[in-house]
Amino acid sequence: MKKSEEKLIVKGKRVDGRLPEELRNIEIKVDVISRADGSAEVAFGNTRVIASVYGPRALYPKHLQEYESSILRCRYSMAPFSVDERKSPVPDRRSIELSKVIRLALEPAIFLEDFPKTAIDVFLEVVQADGSTRVTGINAASLALALAGIPMRDLVCACSVGKVDGTLVVDLNGKEDNFGEADVAFALMPSKNKITLLQMDGLLSKEELKKLIGMAKEACKKIYELQKKALREKYKVRE
């Protein structure tokens, strides 16, 4: 990790004025892509990701089919205009890795065995990046899957935690992600208390990691409530 010239924590506050355990402002919109079977847009501060889900649909060529389950395919991609310097739209190693970890974070939540010989496609488009894009994408994807009517064991909630200027923090922004001492991407199925993603970059002691996992679980519970609220609003019966 690079070291920042600028101090990232001043008088207990972070560069964007937040306290260590404070999440950024979270915005959730559902059904943003009319052609998709399910879609959602989630913003954590300036990080904004659109997820769209297609399927379950018949999978061709046939040799790709699994006879006892559906297959989940995820594509994470960062729009060329999502960062300060134009990002090439060609999938790079980072996007390929993130597509895989996002798939692994979502798979345990889906009843794939209910839809043999099919595929469920999840597309994540990062339209603006300011740290924690993979976890924002997982939150959007899990909502889009639910909105597509795909049977799930639970929603998947995700957030990042890390260490910045020696302080343990929740929901890292771009500066904190790039210049902090460590960052951890975390995803959870809250009602099962099952962790589906845990990735660490940087150095942390065992105690710090334990504490961060606790902080991430608390943050995921808040995100879970917002996700459920967004789903309920959609299906609200009008009086």
Q: Which residues bind ligand ADP (CB under 6 A)?
A: 83, 85, 87, 94, 129-134, 174, 177-178, 185
CB 26 to ligand ADP: min, Å:
16
Return the number of the residue (90 or 237) whose C-beta is nearest ligand ADP.
90
Return the number of the residue (178 or 205) whose C-beta is nearest ligand ADP.
178
Q: Are 122 and 53 in contact (CB under 8 A)?
A: yes
CB 134 to ligand ADP: min, Å:
3
Other C-beta atoms lying within 10 Å of the C-beta of residue 142: 31
CB 37 to ligand ADP: min, Å:
25
* Separation of CA 13 from chain center: 25
CB 180 to ligand ADP: min, Å:
10
Return the number of the residue (66 or 201) whose C-beta is nearest ligand ADP.
201
Q: Are 230 and 42 in contact (CB under 8 A)?
A: no
CB 153 to ligand ADP: min, Å:
24
Return the number of the residue (72 or 182) whose C-beta is nearest ligand ADP.
182
Return the number of the residue (87 or 163) whose C-beta is nearest ligand ADP.
87
Return the number of the residue (144 or 148) whose C-beta is nearest ligand ADP.
144
Query: Helices in the chain by DSSP H: which ranges?
Result: 93-106, 133-147, 174-179, 206-234
Q: Which stretch of DSSP H or E encloses residue 164?
A: strand 157-164
Rounded to 10 degrees, the C-alpha dihedral 15/177/130/141 comes to -130
Give the residue among 110, 207, 102 at the shortest CA–CA distance from 158. 102
The Cα 157–Cα 180 span in angstroms is: 23
CB 185 to ligand ADP: min, Å:
6
Contacts of residue 68, Cβ cutoff 8 Å, sequence gap at least 6 = 113, 116
